[in-house]
Amino acid sequence: MVERSVFLESRVLAVMRTTRGWKKNRLALALGLQPGTLYEYENGDAKPSRQLLERAAAVMGFGTAFVDRTFAYLRQGDADRQLGSSGAAGDADAASDREIDRISIGFSLEVESLLRDGLQRSRRRIRAFEERQAAKVLWARLAPHTTKERQAMVREGKRYQTWALSELLCDESLAAAPDSADRTVELAGLAVLAARLSPGTEAERARIQAYALTHLGNAHRVHGDLPPSDAAFAESAERWQAGGGHDPDGLLNEARMLGLEASLRRAQRLLPKALDLLGRALAVDQGGEARFLLLNRAKTLEECGDYEEAAATLQRAMPLIDREREPRLFWNLQFHRLYNLCNAGRPQEAERSLGEVQELTERLNNSLDLVHLGWLRAKVHAGLGRFQEAEAAFEQVRQDFLSHGIAYDAALVSLELAVLLLEQGRPAEVRTIVHELVPVFQAQRVTREALAAFELFRNAVEQETVTVELARRCLEELRRAGRTTEGRPERTAP
């Protein structure tokens, strides 16, 4: 029988999975493994690599540091047993099972952190848990009231002036963003009010104020008001530094703060700054934000024109998203992954996943999702040289976007169709497309760069100097220019 020390990696994998309470089949699916392969890893028939252990930790919501903590914990347990016992080798499997059962009860990320961080921090974490539970009750009392009534209740009632309620209101603000920009701003403003009135040390109050101001800045971005968004983020940075520049208790999610600022910088077309912020956010993330950060990074790379890296980033994010619990987020990821593969000149790979996207689109039953599915099909057809199918699909998608008043996407599709027509020597039909698009495009709020790219193309068509190369260049400039001057979550292409 092989010595147990050889299987330390297998035991780490089993402990992490059992601690989180996942079944083996669920973890295998999340990692893209056959269930039998995971069984071999956990049974010690094969040794899981360090990379696989880190991936497993990530998909289950642990930080990668948790892998090292688990190694250390198990090694210490082995050393203790060598000093204090002389069990028979034949009992090793049963002992391992008992060990995993024991750890699954008492060795979660939170409990392990409490044991290691010392009594003072342990008490703070326990108190934080109680305060967060109380915040849920407070929000249930606030929720039925009007905006003015909520503000009065927070101003006048000390029970509502807590960091935990402010944090919860920040979460509610984010949750409201896809449906109501006004509600997003209202809830974030209430979070700032609760934070400014909260008790605690000066540093603690500064940190929760910074956290709430970050969400207020994001709310203004969602509402399309970039100057007040920028001002809120600037004040947030000042308050965060006043609080020490970090959260020693680990209660507030700095990775989220950095990611939200990255979304503003992307809306401001400060793409290198956005990528830097996202890199910092991924480095400090302790679990829970990685999938959103990777999607944000991929979208920023897409707007930079780096389609290869955008597609690779989305591939990294796939194991982190539960397609059954978060179907909209998974659809978002898959759409952009295939979109970027097409733009990177890899239509064959995109075509292989079209069936999966179609199945999910039908499940979600959203009319605009069907339009975007048609867009992907058109791009695949064009990339594979199926010009007749591509032309029909592009024309249908273009009309669908125009009927919805979605100027930016209609312009992108129109330019893609124009490239297709110019390649076939049909410039007169391109002129018709541009004439139909002009009033719709100019009536929408789009970035100056996007409008300039479209005007360049339009003038070339009018002067009969348009070429395939110019159309392609304008298409790339339009892609890089960004969708709108508003910061709203894109409800069309996600």
Please report, for the domain that includes residue 208, its CATH number: 1.25.40
Q: Which residue has the tokens 């952009």?
A: 336
**How does pLDDT run along the chain (494 residues), one tens digit per residue?**
333 344 688 888 988 888 777 888 889 888 888 888 888 888 888 899 998 998 898 888 777 777 887 887 777 666 655 554 444 444 445 545 555 544 444 444 444 444 444 445 556 767 888 899 999 999 999 999 999 999 999 999 999 999 999 999 999 999 998 888 899 999 999 999 999 999 989 999 999 999 999 999 999 999 889 999 999 999 999 999 999 998 888 889 999 999 999 999 998 989 999 999 999 999 988 767 888 999 999 999 998 989 999 999 999 999 888 888 889 889 999 999 999 999 999 999 999 999 999 999 999 988 889 999 999 999 999 999 999 999 999 999 988 988 887 877 888 898 899 889 998 888 888 888 888 777 766 665 566 777 787 788 888 888 888 888 888 888 888 777 665 544 333 333 34
Q: Rounded to an integer, what distance in angstroms lies between the CA atom of residue 251 and that of residue 378?
A: 47
Count structural domains, the chain: 3
Residue 376 shares a structural domain with residue 470 = yes
Same domain, 143 and 77: no
Cα dihedral 303, 307, 309, 310 in deg (nearest 10): 60
339 domain residue, yes or no: no
Measure the CA–CA gap between 173 and 188, rounded to whole angstroms. 6
| pLDDT for the residue numbered 76 | 67
Q: What is the pLDDT of residue 434?
A: 82
Report how far Cα 157 is from the mean position of its chain's Cα atoms: 36
Contacts of 451 (CB under 8 A, 6+ apart): 441, 442
Last residue of a domain, one of 233, 252, 271: 252
Residue 257: inside a domain, yes or no?
no
Out of 209, 228, 252, pick the residue that ends a domain. 252
428 is in which domain, residue-wise?
360-481
166 and 228 both lie in a single domain: yes
Question: Structure pTM?
Answer: 0.68
Residue 61 shares a structural domain with residue 152: no
Closest CA to 259 of 237, 236, 286, 281: 281
Q: Is residue 333 part of a domain?
A: no
The answer to whether residue 205 is domain-embedded is yes
User: What pLDDT does 104 receive?
Assistant: 47
CATH code at 31? 1.10.260.40
Q: Which of 252, 273, 300 is the last residue before a domain boundary?
A: 252
